[in-house]
Structure 1
Amino acid sequence: MSTITRTIRNLWRVGVKASDAWHQLQYIGDTKAGALVGVDRFGNKYFEDNEDLPLRTRWVDYKVHDFDPAQIEPGWHAWISYAVDKPPNQDPILAYRRRAWEDTDAKPIPNLTLTRGAYKPYNTVKAKVTTWESTAAERK
């Protein structure tokens, strides 16, 4: 959350349109004003404001608001985490190129950690330590 003066300044810069300010407060949790840098193939919008505090200058507005960081493409993820300076729409190395084996429709692969669909490995090796099981011989 930001200070009240920063919030008022950003509201002044963005415009006090009820939709923009409410949208940012609802989904980002803060008011931000910046330039649109690009849009990825999933429809996420990426913004940058170099007048803001360090490491708070870049952010993403997800298209699907049940958002997951796995919905960000690798090139955009590198840009938004400050690993590279140029966004993928300006850097040909980071730009997305469809591979022959990929589907034509763009769908992000969800992160299924802590869900029923999460990967759970099973062990194929006999345990080194076993529990003691009592065996009683039958009486005659």
Structure 2
Amino acid sequence: MSNLLKTIFTWWNGATAGIHFTVSRRGVLVGKDEFGNRYYEAKDLKDSFDKNKRRWVIFNGYAEASKVPPDWHGWLHHTFAEPPTQAPLPRKAWEKEHRPNLSGTIYAYRPKGSLARGGERQRATGDYEAWTPE
């Protein structure tokens, strides 16, 4: 029952009931990424602003734009004509896997001296001069 209420009343926990209705009528599933996000393209140009078909994503869980990997981002913004399911981007050996924005999570970066790591840092060395008003 709670999932049904989330679908009806919240937009940040995936798609609402209205979006599911629109997608079933106007869209075609193009693919799914490793995070479980689903990507759609309009069946025709009826809802488009230009000569391109409209494209959109339905997030798996919380709606956060940084959860869209670079190859799908390029497809959504019409940088690539073919979706990554048909024409995947070539990966270089030095490239890291895509990770969403981790700020505000337990996996966020916490440098030395941050309050989240105890707030202790090294004392200032001799190259520091305190400012004093004249």
State the TM-score, normalizing by the size of structure 1. 0.51
Question: 4+ runs of 1 displaced by more than 6 Å?
Answer: 99-102
Aligned to 2:66: 70
> Which residue matches 1:16?
none
Percent of aligned positions that are identical? 27
Q: For 2:37, which of 41, 44, 57 is the aligned residue? A: 44
Question: Which consecutive unaligned segments of at least 5 residues does structure 1 have?
Answer: 1-18, 134-140
Contact 2:70 2:98 in 1 (8 A): no
Given the alignment, which residue of 58, 77, 86 partners 1:61? Answer: 58
Number of aligned residue pairs: 104
Residue 84 in structure 1 maps to residue 83 in structure 2: no
**Aligned-residue RMSD, C-alpha:** 4.3
Q: 1:115 to 1:45 in 2, by over 3 A?
A: closer
Structure label with greater radius of gyration: 1
Deviations 1:33-83 (A, max 9, x none): 3000111122211001143132781111112x2232222221111111221
Q: Tell me the SS of whatever aligns to 1:43.
A: coil
Contact preservation (8 Å) 1:76, 1:88: yes
TM-score after normalising by structure 2: 0.52
